[in-house]
Structure 1
């Protein structure tokens, strides 16, 4: 096992590509520059404001709500989005521009660093899977090449320096799965700072400073938190008496959201206590750990709701059928990005496709 693990670590290498290798395709988006505030807006629109011609989804948002990254098979979002197939797009809400990030098909929803400087996603390369990371300002790319090993399910630190991801062997099923933490060191060279040896882990969730990584041991159904400062791993945060499924670690590392049975729990790392949110499925938590996005199990009410964990008050994100992923809430719960096939969220939605929306609360 130790030999196999060492081989996996040695196989991972970063290849830096010149900025020209990343296709930007920046075009002006619809709307008024800098427009923000309460209400809902469709993000997956063409450069002239017309609706996308195919499905869009899998979105995440930066801490300040300015940038949203999502995947789409639409051909009319940017002038260079004509090759077909699913691609990754970046929407800048301040400049109202949409940018295509390369010409690779994402295997999972793309993720963006909290400051909006970097984004990353897993893609197929020959017979394995790599993680491609983009620097938004320059288009410079770096690829995590895992050779005979598959690397996917990335989670980025706030500045994009650290990536936590899953690594597994294609040719050695007995190898199982591991969580690896990579230091990209601004994209120029890389260093593997940790390989967490647990069987069948879920998608990891890394804190903003890269110090903590929450992940799930898929075999034991335990949620654990690793601390880079001293290299230690916590006991199962849900305790010994129940199984748990990881949702997300807050960016400040203070809260861990997990599911157990039909309920959601928000674990406080400093006190070791958990706040129960009964009969709902937690979806995401904002970077400060105060606002929880959840989906009620009761289908008669809203499909997505944002709760202030301090006051216990709720805000409806969507009354229509909708879904969202982790990294869907900006800081202090100001914005929530989600996807829906509903045609009555905004006026003029007649494409019959899944669209990406952002709900602003103030």
Structure 2
């Protein structure tokens, strides 16, 4: 692993690019009194016992793209139905402790991100009447915080929601930028990639580190930016192999990436990577100890949680299911996932995708 000055990241791998740096700023709007949002879907209560809870139980639409906060209290998820009240896919946050679900006032959203405290949500959505994407961010305290750029996507929020990492695609020349915006003002371009492929930025809880992938020819790999030192390290998997990013742990100590048929968990402090053979990593818990993965092959469970210290596995779902990043709470206590299978919980007969959370302790 090699350290390189932050601003030379662009020069190191992209000598043919222009020196233009595009900054995408986040502008705060004055707090306003929020209008009442349309009611969210009916949800199950509880969530304190070992087992599976269905978070979305509406009978007329499907749900997916769910993430959970480190304490397991809040879950953000999207609807898969065009709702007239929202103009597109709605974004919901389920507060499991309060037993309430709120509808986020976002015009439309896919793959939403939630801050660690559960008070802010960001989601990418198409600009109205356009195909280019943008990001909307909503704070319970500050209202909507618009990102003033087009073609922004793949949001990742720090624990307090102050820092937002995202991908920005400039056209022309279709180069992907990795940007970190500060809710208090300003932003920083931490990488300019010689590709339009997704960068999948993942930010640590304290906003210090951002992991991202570069899938450009000759530079394919996973990189880690450090705000404190202003340097970027990588490729983490070494120069002779290629990799794609899964997720950075919330504590910033573990970077999960895929290389070949295996998953690797890179320890930032030591520089060593733990190999988990013949599995596809999906997410890691905030402490970096528990890995959610999909086993290779067609038989067996669809999602498994592994304790990387003991090697012990727990089945999350033995029926077809998928999950996103940030889908495991701290200590591997809960895992949120989505599945269209019937019979995961009693009474699930709507025949469409729902969001579930499995609690292990």
Q: Which residue in the other structure is 2:355 paired with?
A: 356
Rounded Cα–Cα distance in structure 2 between residues aligned with 1:75 and 1:221: 37
Q: Is the counterpart of residue 36 in structure 1 residue 56 in structure 2?
A: no
Q: Which residue in the other structure is 1:48 paired with?
A: none
1:211 to 204, 208, 220: 208
Q: Which residue in the other structure is 2:25 paired with?
A: 12
**Residues 178 and 99 of structure 1: CA distance in aligned 2, closer, same or farther (over 3 Å):** same
Q: Is the counterpart of residue 152 in structure 1 residue 153 in structure 2?
A: yes
**Residues 246 and 210 of structure 1: CA distance in aligned 2, closer, same or farther (over 3 Å):** same
* Contact 2:42 2:56 (C-alpha < 8 Å) held by counterparts: no
Q: Is the counterpart of residue 191 in structure 1 residue 186 in structure 2?
A: yes
Rounded Cα–Cα distance in structure 2 between residues aligned with 1:194 and 1:75: 34
Cα shift at 1:130:
2.2
What secondary structure does 1:155 align onto?
strand
Cα shift at 1:18:
4.0
Q: Is the counterpart of residue 135 in structure 1 residue 139 in structure 2?
A: yes
* Contact 2:283 2:293 (C-alpha < 8 Å) held by counterparts: yes
Runs (5+) with no aligned partner, structure 1? 46-50
Q: Which residue in the other structure is 2:250 paired with?
A: 251
Q: Which residue in the other structure is 2:345 paired with?
A: 346
Q: How large is the Cα RMSD of the aligned pairs?
A: 2.1
Q: Which residue in the other structure is 2:124 paired with?
A: 122
What secondary structure does 1:109 align onto?
strand
Runs (5+) with no aligned partner, structure 2? 1-16
Rounded Cα–Cα distance in structure 2 between residues aligned with 1:118 and 1:13: 14
**Residues 86 and 225 of structure 1: CA distance in aligned 2, closer, same or farther (over 3 Å):** same
**Superposition pairs for residues 1-362 of structure 1, below 5 Å?**
1=17, 4-5=20-21, 8-9=22-23, 12-16=25-29, 18-20=31-33, 23-25=36-38, 30-32=43-45, 35-45=47-57, 51-73=58-80, 82=85, 85-106=88-109, 108-126=110-128, 127=130, 128-136=132-140, 138=141, 140-146=143-149, 149-170=150-171, 172=172, 174-185=173-184, 190-200=185-195, 202-219=199-216, 220-362=219-361
**Residues 28 and 131 of structure 1: CA distance in aligned 2, closer, same or farther (over 3 Å):** closer
What secondary structure does 2:331 align onto?
helix
* Contact 2:169 2:175 (C-alpha < 8 Å) held by counterparts: yes
Choose 199-208 or 339-348, whichever is displaced more.
Answer: 199-208
Rounded Cα–Cα distance in structure 2 between residues aligned with 1:70 and 1:94: 17
Rounded Cα–Cα distance in structure 1 between residues aligned with 2:117 and 2:312: 28
* Contact 1:168 1:178 (C-alpha < 8 Å) held by counterparts: yes
After TM superposition, the runs of 4+ consecutive aligned structure 1 residues lying more than 6 A away are none
**Residues 135 and 230 of structure 1: CA distance in aligned 2, closer, same or farther (over 3 Å):** same
What secondary structure does 1:64 align onto?
coil
Q: TM-score, normalised by structure 1?
A: 0.88
Cα shift at 1:193:
3.2
**Residues 102 and 60 of structure 1: CA distance in aligned 2, closer, same or farther (over 3 Å):** same
Q: TM-score, normalised by structure 2?
A: 0.88
Cα shift at 1:301:
0.7
